[in-house]
């Protein structure tokens, strides 16, 4: 990923990097939960247990990480 990430990509990358458990509320009302494995412009791949699921971004209404994510100021390494 480049340094000029859009806000969406910055937030998803921060969630992915810290392995934060996240809830994905879909437009049809269903809820999926897991850790982000990877993402691109169209999909997010999440892991729940030993299973991976691919979610199309257009089907997601809300992304709700279980921890606070400071993606607005960029991704900062804690190390």
In 1-79, alpha helices (H): 7-17
Q: What is the pTM of this model?
A: 0.81
pLDDT in tens, 2-23: 556 688 999 999 999 999 999 9
- For 14-73, the pLDDT digits (tens) are 999 999 999 999 999 999 999 999 999 999 999 999 999 999 999 999 999 999 988 665
Give me the CATH topology for the region 7-65.
Answer: SH3 type barrels. (2.30.30)
Q: In the chain, what are the domain boundaries? A: 7-65
In the 8-state DSSP scheme, what is residue 17? Answer: H
pLDDT of residue 11: 94
């Amino acid at each position: 990923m480049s340094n000029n990430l859009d806000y969406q990509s910055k937030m998803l990358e921060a969630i992915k990097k810290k392995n934060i458990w996240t809830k994905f509320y879909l437009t049809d009302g269903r809820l999926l939960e897991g850790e982000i494995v990877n993402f691109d412009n169209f999909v997010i791949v999440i892991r729940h247990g030993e299973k991976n699921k691919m979610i199309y971004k257009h089907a997601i209404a809300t992304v709700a990480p279980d921890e606070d994510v400071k993606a607005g100021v960029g991704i900062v390494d804690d190390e």
